[in-house]
Amino acid sequence: MKQHLERVAQLIPAEVVAAHLAIQGLVYNQITIRDLAIELSAGVLLVLLPFYLRARGVTATKQIVLTMGSFVAWVLAVSLPVHQRSGLDPLWGSIVLILWSVVAAVAAPKAAGSSPDADDEAASERGQEG
């Protein structure tokens, strides 16, 4: 589970992950507003994510969608309040995270690890056949 969480988290800008975790940490002991604050902040961060990515030079729609999907999968896996308010068993968040890490690896192999093309390019640079 940890390797899938780390793989998906690598697809999300560090500032967005940090913002979500910081807000979660700030409101964790505020029982009356905690769940709503975490859910609302995750929603706001999801809406802001495409603008953040475009400001950083990411214009490919596929990459933006993959990043947004990764953020949703990651939030479902790490946010206990989402599970408590929705009645969703935390197991489902883990399943979504694992499945999303496979989808992301297939859809964007360079972002999620390595790709056959990258392996072929590396081999040709070394003077070897792929």
End-to-end CA distance of the chain: 32
pTM reported for the whole predicted model? 0.70
9, part of any domain:
yes
Q: Residue 52: pLDDT above 80? A: yes
99, part of any domain:
yes
For the chain, how many residues are written? 130
Q: What is the pLDDT of residues 83-99, one digit of tens each?
A: 666 677 778 888 888 89
CA distance linking residue 61 with residue 78, whole number of Å: 26
Mean pLDDT score, 116-127? 44
CA distance linking residue 112 with residue 20, whole number of Å: 21
Give the distance, in angstroms, between the CA of residue 115 and the centroid of all CA atoms in the same chain: 19
If DSSP codes are grouped into helix, strand and coil, which group holds residue 23? helix
| Number of domains within the chain | 1
CA distance linking residue 24 with residue 84, whole number of Å: 14
Q: Residue 69: pLDDT above 90? A: yes
Supply the range of the domain harboring residue 116.
2-125
130, part of any domain:
no
22, part of any domain:
yes
